[in-house]
């Protein structure tokens, strides 16, 4: 069994496959492109959005504590639009024609940017927390 931090690092490693898939989309057949798009959509729905929901739940529990004061309550709550942007991009990816490679690439790069931005913001919140709060909001705590 892997520890929680290793799981978090593995998640970040998998996220890095999204821009690679985007750059390779132009060389794939429409059928291959559809398979890649479906695989990425499943990964994002099953892992990334689930992680985002867990982070929001954990952070919400801290809003009445010190993290909201340190990171700023507005800053902490600003993560929701990232989550919504990821959902919108995944929904659009599900409906795009895999033959439209430019649109596929644009959506995949946009998806990667939204995901990366979301995790960077979460890491900044963790970095601004006190030592005791870090134990609770650190990536390892996000995995339950």
pLDDT band at 23 (very low <50, low <70, confident <90, very high): very high
Residues belonging to the chain:
144
Residues 118 and 43 sit within 8 Å (Cβ to Cβ): no
Q: What predicted TM-score, i.e. pTM, was given to this entire model?
A: 0.70
Q: Which residue has the tokens 């919400």?
A: 60
Mean pLDDT of 2-8: 65
Give me the DSSP letters along 79-122.
HHHHHHHHHHHHHHHHHS-TT-HHHHHHHHHHHHHHHHHHHHHH
Residues 63 and 39 sit within 8 Å (Cβ to Cβ): no
For residue 38, the model assigns a pLDDT of 95
What is d(CA 37, CA 21) in angstroms, rounded to the nearest whole number? Answer: 9
pLDDT band at 143 (very low <50, low <70, confident <90, very high): very low
Task: Give 80-110 pLDDT, tens digit per residue.
Answer: 567 788 999 999 999 999 999 999 999 999 9
């Amino acid at each position: 069994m892997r520890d929680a931090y290793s799981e978090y690092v593995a998640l970040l490693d998998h996220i890095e496959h999204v821009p690679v898939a985007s750059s390779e989309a132009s060389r794939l057949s429409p059928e291959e492109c559809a398979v890649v798009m479906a695989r990425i959509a499943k990964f994002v729905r099953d892992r990334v959005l689930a992680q985002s929901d867990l982070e929001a739940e954990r952070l919400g529990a801290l809003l009445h504590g010190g993290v909201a004061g340190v990171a700023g309550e507005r800053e902490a709550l600003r993560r929701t639009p990232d989550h919504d942007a990821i959902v919108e991009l995944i929904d659009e990816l599900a409906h795009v024609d895999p033959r439209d490679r430019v649109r596929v690439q644009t959506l995949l790069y946009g998806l990667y940017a939204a995901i990366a931005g979301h995790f960077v913001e979460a890491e900044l919140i963790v970095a601004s927390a006190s030592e005791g709060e870090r134990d609770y909001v650190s990536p390892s705590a996000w995995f339950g």
